[in-house]
Amino acid sequence: MQGLKVRYIIGVVLLSVTGFASAEPLQPDPAWQQGKLENGFNWQLLQTPQRPNDRIQLRLAIKTGSLSEKASEKGYSYLIPRMALFHQSEAFPAATLQNFWRQATDPDMPLPPAVVSYDYTIYSLSLPNNRPDLVKQALSWLATSVAGAQYTENSLQSGLTVPNIPVATLPVNANDPVWRARLNGSAMLGYDPGQKPNGKVDLASVNSFYQKWYTPDVMTLYVAGHVDSRMLSDSITQAFSSLEGKRSEPVSVAVLSSVKPQAIDILQDKSTQDTLSLIWDIDWLPIKDSNVLLRYWGSDLAREAIYRSLQKSFKQKFAEEGVTPGLDCRVQYQKASCTLAISAPPEKMAAVADVALNELAAIKQNGIDPELFNDMMKEKQVQLSQLFAAYARTSTDVLISQRLISQQNGVVDIAPEQYQLLRQAFLGTQNLEQVNMEARRLLSQEAAIVLAQPKEKQTMDAEQIRQKFTQVLWPKLPAVVEPAPESPAVAEPQEGGPAPALPIPAPLTR
């Protein structure tokens, strides 16, 4: 469906459902084989005989990032992957390294070989199939250049001076206004993963940082592809068992701040469209049992119904006028949020915002159109009936990416068989009343309003739109002032008699 990013994570479909009394523990997908070396190094393998022609995907995830840096170490987390990609060793002299990188990158879908974030760093390799020799070489490179390297002055200078080294960061742009707003009040503020070192960098201090944080007990190697599991297990042991070191300090965990209701304006240089975004925080718990998963699915169904209702209205009122809605729900750094984004020509945005507001208000007041709900449920049943065919078509790069996402967010990655049973039971209990209840719950929650516009075509501001939405969807209820209780009459003291007791005040309540 255009504009809607639907993620079918087999075993992890990323949040209120009644009728499920007891929670069933989610069972990890046994297709993922797991192992652990004596030094704490972890590995996971998914064999994909159904995809024999896919490239072999390797990901080395390390629990360290920019949050590990002290003030004198700023930029080291970003520098080390830059050094690793150009690090020459006895096994990888310049010519061998250059030839290796030609084969270890997918020419049709090149991924950055390293990604640095706040609390993790990931190295990615994509190898041709039917090349067990290249798999062994890739494991050797990861072990000698990433996990257990001895960096030299040449490595340091390459990392500092070579331009366009393909090391990416998450977020891609830490200075994005929306991201900066999310960082307020978070311990992540001031730890930009893409920050470069300032001043002179000493090799000894970089190696000290590297040896402290790049320890085998916080490393996990993920492999997906049509490979021989016994051969791979032996090769992993041979390559990584000699690694030494153990984390002496707790692993830093990045936690993002909640989305605060506010208005944010963004002026863009190259864009020709306006984009209006509504951003909501959504409930999130690590998905480890069936009740949590079913609650997530219930909320997810309501969000999709809201999106489809908006999409239908835009199609009716702005056909062929370049109005494009989109819905993106994701978990980032222990927080989940949903962004409803609407792109439109600048001259149409005022009308588009009004239509969006009216449709959301109608859903909050009257609920989802029954016909739309029934069509959506029929589509969900068809998708479920095609589950195993969809799984067989899912490429290894998608499978390994989903595995990483689930592991980072505390989601049990279940097998397609358990997914099918739970999903069928869930769809069988859903009705329009439940979806409407969830939709109203979301629409009663005040959202952040973000308006991105071309600099030369700024026609309105986000605060104007936010005030309109607040008045209709989230009106401020007037404060109720309770009248002061009448003071009881106090009898005048009779001459010569005792003074009457004063009334005892009622205790204060909040």
Among 184-188, 222-226, 475-479, the minimum mean pLDDT is found in 475-479
The separation between CA 370 and the C-alpha centre of its own chain, rounded to angstroms, equals 32
Measure the CA dihedral 344/347/351/352, to 10°. 10
In terms of average pLDDT, the best of 250-264, 294-308, 457-471, 479-493 is 294-308
pLDDT at 412 over 70: yes
Residue 330 has, within 13 A of its CA and on its CB side, a CA count of: 13
Asked if the domains 32-241 and 263-474 are classified in one and the same CATH topology, the answer is: yes
Q: What is the pLDDT of residues 426-462, one digit of tens each?
A: 999 999 999 999 999 999 999 999 999 998 888 889 9
Taking only the tens place, the pLDDT of each residue in 120-176 is: 999 999 999 999 999 999 999 999 999 999 999 999 999 999 999 999 999 999 999
**pLDDT tens digits, one per residue of 353-389:** 999 999 999 999 999 999 999 999 999 999 999 999 9
Query: Of 58, 212, 33, nearest to 143 (Cα)?
Result: 58
Distance, in Å, from the CA atom of 287 to the CA atom of 74, rounded to the nearest integer, reads: 34
Over residues 204-214, mean pLDDT: 97
Q: Is 175 strand, coil or helix?
A: coil
Q: Rounded distance, CA 387 to CA 381, Å? A: 10
Domain 32-241, what fold? Answer: Cytochrome Bc1 Complex; Chain A, domain 1 (3.30.830)
- Residue 168 · residue 106 · CB < 8 Å: no
Looking at the chain, the whole-number percentage of residues with pLDDT higher than 70 is 89
Quote the crossing angle between the two packed helices 349-366 and 462-473, to the nearest 10°: 20
State yes or no: pLDDT of 290 exceeds 90: yes
Q: Please give the single-letter amino acid code of residue 284.
A: W
Determine the Cα–Cα distance for residues 69 and 341; give it in Å rounded to an integer: 35
Model pTM score: 0.87
Secondary structure (DSSP) of 488-499: PP-PPPPTTSPP
> Is residue 142 a contact partner of residue 134, using CB atoms and an 8 Å limit?
no
Which pair of structure tokens corresponds to residue 3?
Answer: 């504009």
> 486: which residues sit within 8 A by CB, 6+ positions away?
none
Biggest alpha carbon distance in the chain? 115
CA distances from 12 to 225, 246, 294, 393, 406 (A): 19, 31, 12, 17, 7
pLDDT band at 481 (very low <50, low <70, confident <90, very high): low
213: phi then psi, degrees, rounded to nearest 5: -105, -25
The ranges assigned to domains in the chain are: 32-241, 263-474
Cross-sheet strand order for the sheet of 56-62: 32-36, 42-47, 219-225, 56-62, 121-127, 114-116, 167-169
Fold classified for 263-474: Cytochrome Bc1 Complex; Chain A, domain 1 (3.30.830)
Give the CA angle between residues 437, 11, 23 to the nearest 5°.
Answer: 55
